[in-house]
Amino acid sequence: MRERDGMGHRAKSIIGAKSARGWAVDAVMLAAMGLLLGFLGPFDSDDTPLAPRYAYWLTCMLGGGLIAVAVDESLGRRLPALWRRVVVTSALATPLVTLFVVVTQHLMFAERRWSIYLPLLWQVWPIMLAAMAVRALVWRRLPTRVETRTLVVLPLPEAEAVFRRRLSARRRSARLIAIEAHDHYLRVHTDAGAELITLRFADALNELSRAHGWRVHRSWWVAADAVEEVRWRRGTGEIRLVGGLTAPVSRTHGPVLKAAGWL
């Protein structure tokens, strides 16, 4: 019996998402913070009438916050430490966000004094730091739930016995890595080297139907325990196998690897 992890092998980013849904979640979070600041009226904004005050904070938090999110998505991914990333990206975004706030004040309140830019930096940065910290907590990945499946399979020697008898004595007991079809021949890859045998690919698949492996391409079969990494891009993929061997993965056979937890 063998247990396999059914949740995949690639960890997702801790903060943020490039999808439309991810940006929408960020926008909702920032709008909520804008409403809160509109209610609290910090930095003497409570002297402003209610409607303009809420409009001002919503505009600043949505516009400025999304600027900070863009900075984080483009630069923050280079910082693996979560809270260091929050501090650095909020600091890098602050000059741009402050400029946005100055322009917003000019448009909404006819505030034309550019001399307020430097004092505003020290007001904008703590707000951006708080916003990015809340965002980090929202997007922080919860502990992975591991699902397992128990498969009852034949021992490898028995499952591969018929096919192995076709190999030379040197490779008959070697570790089977992959099979590659070439017309009416097969190139059998093992940890003792490769050899050509005369056999149709369909017949080889039939003989290995109970073995631990998958057909991943019209001309490739790979042993499950020989897979080290799977890369997938634009509808096709590639498998890296032990010994440095690589095999293609077609769109048709990709779901097999996805079901096994590799995609």
User: Cα–Cα distance between 124 and 33 in angstroms, integer?
Assistant: 14
Residue 3's H or E segment, with its range, is: strand 2-5
pLDDT of 234 reads 73
User: Cα–Cα distance between 156 and 118 in angstroms, integer?
Assistant: 71
pLDDT of 120 reads 85
Per-residue model confidence as pLDDT tens digits over 31-40: 998 899 888 8
Over residues 65-83, the mean pLDDT reads 78
- pLDDT category, 220, cuts 50, 70, 90? very high
Per-residue model confidence as pLDDT tens digits over 150-183: 444 445 567 888 999 999 998 988 899 999 998 8
Dump the DSSP string for 165-182. Answer: TTS-TTTTTSPEEEEEEE
Q: Which two tokens stand for residue 177?
A: 């890595």
Q: Which domains, and CATH codes, for the chain?
A: 20-139 (no CATH), 151-259 (2.40.50.1020)
Pairing of strands 220-223, 213-217: antiparallel
Our CA angle for 26, 27, 33, nearest 5°, is 90
- pLDDT category, 147, cuts 50, 70, 90? very low
